[in-house]
Amino acid sequence: MVVLPMHLRQVFLDHVAQTSPSPMGLEMVKAKGVQCWDKSGKAYLDAISGFSVCNIGHSHPAVVKAVQDQAADYMHLIVYGEFIEQPQVAYAQLLTQHLPPSLNCVYFTNSGAEATEGAMKLAKRVTGKTQFVAAQNAYHGSTQGALSLMGDEYWRQAFRPLLPGIAHLPYGSSAFIEAIGPHTAAVLLETVQAESGVVKPPPGWLAQVAHRCRAMGALLILDEIQAGFGRTGTLWAFEQMDMVPDILLLGKALGGGMPLGAFVAPRELMQTLTHGPVLGHITTFGGHPVSCAAGKAALEVLLASDWVAKAEAKGRWMANALQHPAFVSVHQHGLWLSVQFASAALAQKVIHRCVQEGLITDWFLFAPDRLRLAPPLSSTAEELKQMVKIVLRCVATET
């Protein structure tokens, strides 16, 4: 008989691999919509959507039903790409109906990082080249190929040697564009840089990058793993940039709360994965039927709502309401904000206080001096007001 431990926290610390010296360590027992509850019954507002995953809120009934129905029909059957699995096919169809015509073929993966890996391999295979250009302060995942793209030596140095042939240039710079040359297989960029604190590219810059890529025979891979699914006020952030990528990376909200990633590309490019060698990218669980059923249900909910259309107005309201002398800057794009403090120490104190006061928030990988706000797009005006109120109260307490 398994004896349930009295002190789950200690078992968590002892037997679940830790990656942080100070995990939040909240013991949540339920999440619904914008709220989560811990085991004492205390309610929290989730101001970061489980890191931009729960764009339609936690455990939406349509997603729960899709998961239950699919689990009852079948779960894992076989490795990726062999059987015709209806949830996968239906979701690929729905996604491509809402993407530009060239992005017509979806390779479903387990995670965002695996989507990055698959897209890098595809770019090498298609172009016959091996070099990549990525941005400083870029985050595309934590596996070794994706980590090689990560735009900060602090995070890379302990894991060298990593992939050779990767240049890192400042996001939004002309030097970045000049670094794209005849040996470049692909350029990897976030449409909006997430982990440096919601940083938009300068107007017209991404279109210039796309133009240079075409001139040099390089592919442009855009990462919308955080920016996608309405976060920036349009379904895809690149819609606001007057350009279309060659390959699009998706993850996080893609699975509606279940694990799922994808790289999306023109079918003729994707076909190169079928030969020389065959099985150009192999995954056992990529495109899991339950994840695809959940993701499709979540996207249908999002498309039937006015949440994407209202994301920018909601975000602007929050940015305007977030007024305090302790804020050095507030960056906002859609319903996605970073609030900068004079020091990382102060930001961490405020973040910690917010969590104590029932608001789930966090910092950014490359900007520990900023507080993260990415509430579910389904958040009501009242819920957003509550979130702002808690942040302002905590700042007042800590300054």
Q: Select the residue interacting with ligand PLP from 103, 225, 293, 347 (CB under 6 A).
A: 225
The residue (of 112 and 375) whose beta carbon lies closer to ligand PLP is 112
Polymer length in residues for the chain: 399
366 touching ligand PLP, by CB under 6 A? no
Stretch that binds ligand PLP, among 172-180, 211-219, 222-230, 350-358 (CB under 6 A): 222-230
Helix (H, G, I), strand (E, B) or coil at 261: strand
Q: Are 145 and 120 in contact (CB under 8 A)?
A: yes
Q: Select the residue interacting with ligand PLP from 33, 145, 233, 251 (CB under 6 A).
A: 251
Q: For residues 219 and 213, give the distance between their C-alpha atoms in angstroms, rounded to a whole number.
A: 6
Stretch that binds ligand PLP, among 166-174, 218-226, 279-287, 289-297 (CB under 6 A): 218-226
CA angle 62, 93, 375 (to 5 degrees): 45
Instruction: State the angle between helix axes of 381-398 and 307-321 in degrees (0 to 180), rounded to the nearest 10.
Output: 30
Taking alpha carbons only, the member of 172, 169, 225 closest to residue 203 is: 172
CB of 260 to ligand PLP, least distance (A): 9
Q: Burial, 157: exposed, middle or buried (Cβ in 10 Å; 0-12, 13-18, 19+)?
A: exposed
139 touching ligand PLP, by CB under 6 A? yes
Stretch that binds ligand PLP, among 133-141, 208-216, 262-270, 335-343 (CB under 6 A): 133-141
The residue (of 111 and 240) whose beta carbon lies closer to ligand PLP is 111
CB of 251 to ligand PLP, least distance (A): 5
Q: Which of residues 174-203 bind ligand PLP (CB under 6 A)?
A: 190, 194
Q: Which residue is nearest to ligand PLP (CB)?
A: 112
Q: Which of residues 230-249 bind ligand PLP (CB under 6 A)?
A: none
CB of 365 to ligand PLP, least distance (A): 8
Q: For residues 279 and 43, give the distance between their C-alpha atoms in angstroms, rounded to a whole number.
A: 47
- Write the single-letter amino acid at 62: A
The residue (of 232 and 388) whose beta carbon lies closer to ligand PLP is 232
Give Cα separations from 306 to 46, 49, 144, 253, 285 (angstroms): 20, 18, 39, 17, 33
CA angle 108, 88, 227 (to 5 degrees): 50
Q: Are 373 and 339 in contact (CB under 8 A)?
A: yes
Maximum Cα–Cα distance across the chain: 66
Helix (H, G, I), strand (E, B) or coil at 189: strand
Q: Select the residue interacting with ligand PLP from 112, 228, 315, 375 (CB under 6 A).
A: 112
The residue (of 245 and 394) whose beta carbon lies closer to ligand PLP is 245
CB of 111 to ligand PLP, least distance (A): 4
Stretch that binds ligand PLP, among 87-95, 110-118, 313-321, 342-350 (CB under 6 A): 110-118
Helix (H) or strand (E) holding 116, with range, is helix 112-127
Q: Is the preceding peptide bond at 289 cis, omega within 30 degrees of 0?
A: no
DSSP string, 361-376: ---BTTBTTEEEE---
Helix (H) or strand (E) holding 134, with range, is strand 131-135
Tell me which residue has tokens 């996605």. 336
Q: Select the residue interacting with ligand PLP from 46, 85, 117, 223 (CB under 6 A).
A: 223
Stretch that binds ligand PLP, among 71-79, 137-145, 271-279, 296-304 (CB under 6 A): 137-145
The residue (of 99 and 390) whose beta carbon lies closer to ligand PLP is 99
141 touching ligand PLP, by CB under 6 A? yes
Stretch that binds ligand PLP, among 84-92, 108-116, 176-184, 230-238 (CB under 6 A): 108-116
The residue (of 87 and 251) whose beta carbon lies closer to ligand PLP is 251
CB of 217 to ligand PLP, least distance (A): 25
Residues of this chain that bind ligand PLP (CB under 6 A): 111-113, 139-141, 190, 194, 223, 225-226, 251, 261
